[in-house]
Structure 1
């Protein structure tokens, strides 16, 4: 009973987001914000904050995955590298990515988003461009490694950044919108690669070189613009009026730790490593990263091995991502409305399983192609939901920044393994790669079911403590009148699942 009452009380605190503040000036400091339409303000934030972040991630995913398109256009033959050597370059990318995610989020915490995120974009744009002029195996390896290093700070940084602007129940949809750029990059990447490959011989360069050069230069140009396009935090945002700024700070103050004056401490970093739930969030992404990245990196090759030409494979890689994009947006809306993550993740991991079962059991070209659509349709919606989980549940700020980075760092270890699974000798069935992807998706269903159970049990435990001590879930200023705030260990903090 205590748990049910506690969760009902906590949910009531979020209902304000669906109302016009001017219609609810009932008590306390909310009366100061009459005339502010909260829905309109959220739309304003979305329009100002999400487009640059989404564009940066689209370019990031495009620059990391276009190597699969370049391979179809002659990268391996021109550089005189074997299939296994090509896979080593993919592995080194994720090695750099995994090693530098946590350091990058520490730097973000110590600097500002408006400086750090565009700088990362500029650096990886330069590296991505230079991939177009590599002449040998060592150049290929070093370029892929440093591309991973440069891109490592963007995604965990943005997930943390979103948590500093939006309330907990609002973050899921925004992070899903941001991550939808991954599926858009897959769709656009195939079309762009098909078009750019027609530049074969221009300037004495092969078509695959132009894929890297033009897409890398686009990233460099966007990075220069993003220095003026990416904002820091609500307290300094110039596009807001003073009253809007105060209201955003007030609503965050009544929902999370986003506006608390928290200094960076190594003890908070250690606290993130000691929290078993953080490792479960990481396991949730780990069991998804192998299927996601193997699909994004090898989809053009998988389709080509079904019997299609290189040009046809580039274009046929578009529909799976288009379906995934539509489903990501739909699922994120449903998840936000129901305030549930785990059930949706488990269902769509099951959809991905269907895709790989088709790929493993029926080798007719058309049927196998349908399998790739099912795989993308299951993987991408589930991944978008797992990313937003620690952002909503982990508190305080430093611990959350490290948890976001740790989740993606541990998660991408799955991608490191995945880059070695789709070997040339296993074509066209790719039993090893498809089998691992299927196994990982099944493991994800069990892992997310376990995390769901853990969070539910912890909420019940917190509800009993609140009942014994006469406390309530956070529906007002965190730590304002009931003692010191203890972060996500506080009995008043209710986990979302």
Structure 2
């Protein structure tokens, strides 16, 4: 690993010296900050929140909207106009995820080498333009090709945003911020139903069906967001200019002390490979797969499920929105509570259990009102778990390479859930979609088991470190101790 240039007292070297004195006692330390430092911490955090989160939420909201609007488009003559039959709709839904999965880790290696605003704005414009052109497709093959390109462009978005947000906040802060970021999914899910109803009502205007207008307008909105991102998206902390020199030095030092890691400038292939072998990363990725299998199923196929209640396309689109509004409110509220308590695992497990309950109601009960209530429980539970799974995983590893690899690998495996969801809800399983619902329940149950297993072993490791059973690592030179990251005996895993 390359060392930092030996220039006079750069912030990261000051952080290293202070880190040694603090013995890696980050957010769990009992050392109290003086009032000046606490005030500085609050002021800088507020400035970062205002500059980073709203723009990230806005862009990713449009990103997610472009991904799932195919479910709304289906209700406005998409299959009829493109002469799609059998499983062809399911195929164009899942094919998006193939390039998405393949390119996520390489994408995070690229974003660590260039400014995020160049990379993210370029990707945003690419998939926005592709979505817009989807509205001009006239056959299954053309639409399939467009969906592939959407997956290519969008592959770097989610892991890139997670890496950028994770680089700006301490381990304790990042959970609530990721929840606010991922509420973009709920906003998109809510808006998707409203836009699907509104834009779909343009059906026949200028000779285009309602599904074409959905793609035309939503894709153009995304292209506009790309222009905003190019001018206003923040870089990584070390390259930032909106903080004063004093604030920047303070914040870099705080990040190094509280996150307890040496911040590499670039992700390198050997570091990525080592990170992929970490069991904590594998467990996080599997939990995220379990989350995404249900999340994509609920998001993409909810309009189809509601249409089995005998509702019109307009009503089915409109009544997807309250479900996502409720899940967004609960998700952010639980993440904020989790942040204050500094607990993650228990809330992830609760989220999985609530989702299982809701999915069982939706697929097993015959009363449409109970089934609709089940969709609320399913969405609320799974979107409680989604941000906390990522935040929990990020809190257990140190360094840009590990964090970048974890977010990309978890997201990649999560997209396998999108492929699964696209295959398990064929039209032939109407009206209850029992096979698809059963698969989602199985993944949620497995995710809960992995969550509890990870919680148990990390808890045991914390006890061993408290008992001094890892103290032999203190005999290493100070520089080597600094590079131990989460393996340092004073590091405590977040529960």
Structure 1 length as normaliser, TM-score?
Answer: 0.90
Stretch moving more, 338-347 or 196-205:
196-205
The Cα of 1:234 is off from its aligned counterpart by 2.1
1:22 maps to 2:22? no
Stretch moving more, 220-229 or 411-420:
411-420
Report what 1:371 is aligned to.
374
Distance 2:312 2:322 in 1: 17
Does the aligned pair in 1 maintain the 2:262–2:483 contact within 8 Å? no
Q: 2:444 aligns with which of 416, 437, 441?
A: 441
Q: 1:65 aligns with which of 61, 68, 77?
A: 68
Report what 2:349 is aligned to.
346
- Listed as ranges, the matches of 1:296-375 within 5 Å are 296-375=299-378
The Cα of 1:82 is off from its aligned counterpart by 1.1
Distance 2:473 2:423 in 1: 55
The Cα of 1:263 is off from its aligned counterpart by 4.2
Report what 1:136 is aligned to.
139
Residue 8 to residue 197, structure 1, CA distance change in 2 (3 Å):
same
The Cα of 1:313 is off from its aligned counterpart by 0.2
1:421 maps to 2:424? yes
Distance 1:376 1:7 in 2: 42
Does the aligned pair in 2 maintain the 1:160–1:391 contact within 8 Å? no
Distance 1:422 1:438 in 2: 14
Residue 380 to residue 483, structure 1, CA distance change in 2 (3 Å):
closer
Residue 467 to residue 293, structure 1, CA distance change in 2 (3 Å):
closer
Report what 1:176 is aligned to.
179
Distance 2:354 2:291 in 1: 13
Report what 1:33 is aligned to.
none
Report what 1:99 is aligned to.
102
Report what 1:391 is aligned to.
394
Residue 483 to residue 275, structure 1, CA distance change in 2 (3 Å):
closer
Distance 1:326 1:20 in 2: 34
Does the aligned pair in 1 maintain the 2:112–2:265 contact within 8 Å? no
Report what 1:29 is aligned to.
none
Number of aligned residue pairs: 473
Structure 2 length as normaliser, TM-score?
Answer: 0.91
The Cα of 1:83 is off from its aligned counterpart by 4.1
The Cα of 1:236 is off from its aligned counterpart by 2.7
Residue 155 to residue 257, structure 1, CA distance change in 2 (3 Å):
farther
SS at match of 1:255: helix
Distance 1:236 1:466 in 2: 39
- Listed as ranges, the matches of 1:458-477 within 5 Å are 458-465=461-468, 468-469=471-472
Does the aligned pair in 1 maintain the 2:123–2:154 contact within 8 Å? yes
Residue 14 to residue 328, structure 1, CA distance change in 2 (3 Å):
farther
Distance 1:357 1:7 in 2: 49
Distance 1:397 1:152 in 2: 19
Distance 1:20 1:430 in 2: 58
SS at match of 1:98: helix
Does the aligned pair in 1 maintain the 2:464–2:470 contact within 8 Å? no
- Listed as ranges, the matches of 1:275-286 within 5 Å are 275-286=278-289
Q: 2:156 aligns with which of 153, 156, 181?
A: 153
Deviations 1:248-272 (A, max 9, x none): 1111121225773444332201111
The Cα of 1:390 is off from its aligned counterpart by 2.5
Distance 1:43 1:15 in 2: 23
Q: 1:232 aligns with which of 230, 235, 245?
A: 235
Distance 2:169 2:482 in 1: 23
Report what 1:32 is aligned to.
none
Residue 396 to residue 10, structure 1, CA distance change in 2 (3 Å):
closer
The Cα of 1:492 is off from its aligned counterpart by 3.1
Report what 1:38 is aligned to.
41
1:496 maps to 2:491? no
Distance 1:14 1:170 in 2: 17
Q: 1:251 aligns with which of 251, 254, 262?
A: 254
Report what 2:19 is aligned to.
none
Does the aligned pair in 2 maintain the 1:352–1:378 contact within 8 Å? yes
SS at match of 1:147: helix
Report what 2:29 is aligned to.
13
Residue 261 to residue 448, structure 1, CA distance change in 2 (3 Å):
closer
SS at match of 1:327: helix
Deviations 1:63-84 (A, max 9, x none): 0000000000110011010141
Residue 212 to residue 235, structure 1, CA distance change in 2 (3 Å):
same
Report what 2:484 is aligned to.
486
The Cα of 1:153 is off from its aligned counterpart by 1.0
SS at match of 1:372: helix
